[in-house]
Amino acid sequence: MKVLAYYKNQTKHILVLDACEEEVALEDFFQEIAGVYTNLEIMFIESLILPVRIIEALVKLMEQYRQNTFKIYTTTEFLSHYLFELRIPNVQLHRASQMSPEKDAEDLIEFPEEKLRDLLMGIYQIYGYDFRNYQLENLKRTISQTMARQSMPDFDRFKKKILQDHEFFRCLFLNLSVNVTSFFRHPELFKVLREEVFPYLNSFPHLRIWSVGAASGEEAYSLAILLDELNMLEKSIIYATDFNSLVLQKAQNGLYALPLLRQAVENHQKSGESKQLEEYFHINPYYAQIRPFIKKKVVFFHHNLTSDTAFNEFHLIICKNVLIYFNSQLQESVVNLFKQSLHRNGFLVLGRSENLFYRQDFIKYKLGFNIFKFLNSSLE
């Protein structure tokens, strides 16, 4: 991270260049914002996410200055949207160059499947992300919508732009990464985990849980909250993984919009809660922050199901609504990865639309739920 500052017309301008990451020294930024100025403007150039320390500093500056004397500018849609979620006003520049996954194109642009496969191969060779075994229809729809929003109906031109422009690819990558999650989503499943699965697992002296496709962290933190309510958190560790490093950074921040928390309270109650959900957050007028004793039990890191191997032995693996985006070959490969990663008689939880047909090494644990118990016959 590089910080530049200058004065003009009674205004101090601070430019934050490149990515802001928790690991790098942030002291230059804090030194520049120290003191009191007539007007203060901060511009984050090409930053996609901010660490908690900077977000907390922005909140203090909002409280220190009036709205017309303190302004925040961003150049990426990802960061702008993230700050708005946390009720931090900002002005996004260069809006026309951004790709937004939220607006659907009415008319999809058609292109041959063979051209799509060529694009996926190029993305893999240049950027290292392997979408070749994803469901082609889902990929085709997302790419077609992106082309329409960019007014770029020529597939060859679009492909060239993707493979030559890293920033352009990064925006497409964010669209291709499915990050739909929420606290205690599908509360009836959490109720079964609370009442049947975790009591069984409580017989183990230590618990290791893998939350696959963790996205922005709500599922992993929900599991940690549930374990705390069952007095099992101290002996547990939750590994939360995703192949999208940006959403993992959001998850590590542990900051969430207040409306999301209000929506989560009802789901938490339906899951059979024993404590108030608000007890697990520090809540201010802008956002809710996961409390440290919950946060420290969740480890977030990058893992790609299409290329990475097993990395631990788990008593419970939760992988909801991920397999549906893979073709049958990749689904088989991922299930075998889970087999390698599961403790004897461990549990695997899949999404509502996913199943394990004709698998003799798993049995359905609970009718009506895609909860499977692993039967490792090789250890009998």
User: What does the H/E/C string look like for 3-69?
Assistant: EEEEEECCEEEEEEECCCCCCCCCHHHHHHHCCCCCEEEEEEECCCCCCHHHHHHHHHHHHHCCCCC
C-alpha span between 75 and 94 (Å, rounded): 6
Give which of 178, 161, 181, 157 is closest to 169, Cα–Cα: 161
What per-residue confidence (pLDDT) applies to 356? 75
**Lowest model confidence (mean pLDDT) among 88-102, 122-136, 327-341:** 88-102
Q: Is the Cα dihedral 79, 84, 86, 89 positive or negative?
A: positive
Q: Please list, in sequence order, all residues whose beta carbon lies within 8 angstroms of the beta carbon of residue 329, skipping any fewer than 6 positions away.
A: 133
In terms of Cβ atoms closer than 10 Å to its own Cβ (0-12, 13-18, 19+), residue 163 is middle
The residue-averaged pLDDT of 301-319 equals 94
Res 346 pLDDT > 80: yes
Cα angle, residue 240 at apex, residues 235 and 244 outer, rounded to 5°: 165
Would you kindly state where each structural domain of the chain is located, as residue ranges?
2-96, 113-176, 187-379
Highest-confidence range of 41-45, 76-80, 274-278, by mean pLDDT? 41-45
What pLDDT is recorded for position 77? 85
The top-level CATH class assigned to 2-96 is alpha beta
* pLDDT 10s digits, 68-125: 999 999 998 889 999 999 999 999 986 444 444 444 444 678 889 999 999 999 999 9
With 70 as the cut, is the pLDDT of residue 319 above it?
yes
Residues 224/252, Cβ–Cβ less than 8 Å? no
Q: Model pTM? A: 0.87
- Round to whole Å and give the CA distance between 301 and 145: 30
Lookup: tokens for 96: 């026309």
Any bridge partners for residue 374, and if so which? 362
Please tell me the predicted confidence (pLDDT) of residue 358: 67
Q: How many other C-beta atoms lie within 10 A of the C-beta of residue 339?
A: 17
- Which tokens in the block code for residue 18? 């490149």
pLDDT of residue 221: 98
pLDDT in tens, 2-38: 899 999 989 999 999 876 654 456 888 999 999 899 9
Question: In Å, how far from its chain's centre is CA 33?
Answer: 30
**CATH number, span 187-379:** 3.40.50.150
